[in-house]
């Protein structure tokens, strides 16, 4: 963090000697715990975390102020800067945190819209990722708060084809369908046989 925005960062034990202002109206005094995680560029989360924009610190669409170890939003909300909270906020794979840390992280994620694409609260599309932090923390969090819907699972019963299952859902729009049915591999003996099968599939799709 220091090498990106040196003027924003000052150790707490230096606060009495030096003040660093940002845009003439915001003062960041960053303590040792906060500095440790902000300086960790190797393991830093760049998707659901703090960022620098136009010389200001942001989380999502919200400007923030770092006061020693704590984070304060511009609406006055203050988060106690425990090590677990900073780990959740800044690292790609947080491991050591309490339920209170996780609750605070969930609150700042939802309030700052850092889970929305382009960090835009008006964007209807949440961000997604195949990273462990998203899959184990962010995605369940968004589902619990009704922002993401649970995937629809199909249990294929004997005598019921996947096509029949889709027909029953006709009119409900496109959905992501997950099935626990075993994968069936089909082999073609000739090009004519394959083309015939493709014609049948196309005819069924056009009918639907």
Q: How many helices (H) and strands (E) does the chain have?
A: 7, 10
Q: Which domain holds residue 163?
A: 152-207
Same domain, 103 and 164: no
176 occurs within a structural domain: yes
18 in the same domain as 82? yes
Residues 14 and 108 in one domain: yes
**67 inside domain:** yes
Last residue of a domain, one of 96, 127, 144: 144
Residues 98, 164, single domain; the answer is no
- For the CA atoms of 154, 158, 160, 166, the dihedral, rounded to the nearest 10 degrees, stands at 10
Measured distance CA(57)–CA(38) in Å, rounded: 11
Q: Are 159 and 139 in the same domain?
A: no
Mean per-residue pLDDT pooled into runs of 10, the chain (208 residues): 41 39 57 89 92 89 93 92 96 95 97 95 93 95 91 57 48 52 57 61 51
Which pLDDT score, from 0 to 100, does residue 54 have?
Answer: 85
The DSSP output letter for 25 is T
Query: Are 172 and 94 members of one domain?
Result: no
**Number of domains within the chain:** 2
Measured distance CA(145)–CA(4) in Å, rounded: 34
Yes or no: say if 153 and 147 are a contact pair by the CB < 8 Å rule.
no
User: 1 in a domain, yes or no?
Assistant: no
């Amino acid at each position: 963090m220091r090498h990106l925005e040196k003027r924003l960062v000052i150790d707490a034990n230096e606060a009495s000697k030096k003040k660093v202002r940002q845009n003439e109206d915001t003062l960041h005094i960053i303590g040792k715990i906060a500095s440790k995680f902000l300086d960790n560029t190797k393991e830093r989360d760049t998707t659901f975390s703090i960022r620098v924009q136009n010389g200001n610190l942001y989380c999502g669409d919200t400007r923030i102020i770092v006061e020693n170890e704590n984070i304060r939003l511009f609406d006055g909300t203050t988060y106690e800067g425990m090590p677990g909270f900073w780990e959740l906020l800044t690292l790609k794979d947080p491991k050591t945190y309490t339920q209170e840390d996780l609750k605070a992280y969930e609150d700042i994620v939802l309030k700052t819209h850092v889970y929305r694409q382009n960090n835009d609260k008006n964007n209807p599309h949440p961000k997604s990722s195949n990273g462990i932090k998203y899959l184990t923390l962010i995605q369940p969090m968004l589902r619990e708060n009704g922002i993401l819907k649970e995937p629809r699972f199909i249990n294929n019963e004997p005598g019921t084809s996947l096509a029949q299952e889709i027909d029953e859902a006709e009119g409900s729009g496109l959905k992501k369908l997950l099935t626990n049915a075993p994968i069936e591999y089909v082999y073609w003996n000739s090009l004519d046989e394959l083309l015939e099968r493709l014609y049948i599939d196309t005819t069924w799709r056009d009918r639907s």
